[in-house]
Amino acid sequence: MKWPYKYTVDDSVLQVFATSPKRQREALLRIFDFLAREPFTEGQSTQLDRTGRHCQVKRFGDWLIVYWPEHLASEIHILDAERLIRKGN
C-alpha cells in the first residue's frame, strides 16, 4: 500500500532490523508503516540529533523509536530503534 510519506532508516536501524528475529522485524515494519501513514505523530519526548535537529522519541510497545519528519520531502527519517527488554525476556 502507498502511504503519504516514505521512510528512511539509518544504518544503525538497518543493523538492528537485520539481526532481529522475524517477529521483531515484522513489528518494526508495522511501526515504520504507521509513521509513514501518520507523519505528524509526535513522540513522548524529543532529543537532538548530531546536527542539532529536534527528533521525536516515541515508544511503540517493546520498541523505542527516534525519528524526524521532513515534511517538505514527505519523508520520515528513522534514526534509532531500541528494543526495550521486558522482565522475564
67 CB-side CA count, 13 A: 33
**Nearest Cα to Cα of residue 26 among 63, 59, 58:** 63
Domain ranges of the chain: 6-83
Question: Above 70 in pLDDT, residue 89?
Answer: no
SS3 content of the chain, % helix, strand, coil (to 5): 30, 35, 35
Please write the tens of the pLDDT for every residue from 42-68.
999 999 988 999 999 999 999 999 999
Contact 35, 24 (CB under 8 A): no
Average pLDDT over residues 25-45: 96
Strands, sheet with 45-48, edge to edge from the N-terminal-most edge strand:
6-9, 75-83, 63-70, 54-60, 45-48
d(CA 16, CA 63): 11
Confidence class of residue 1 from pLDDT cuts 50, 70 and 90?
Answer: low
Query: Residue 85: what pLDDT?
Result: 80
Question: Above 60 in pLDDT, residue 33?
Answer: yes
| 6-83 is classed CATH 3.30.2310.20 | yes
pTM score: 0.89
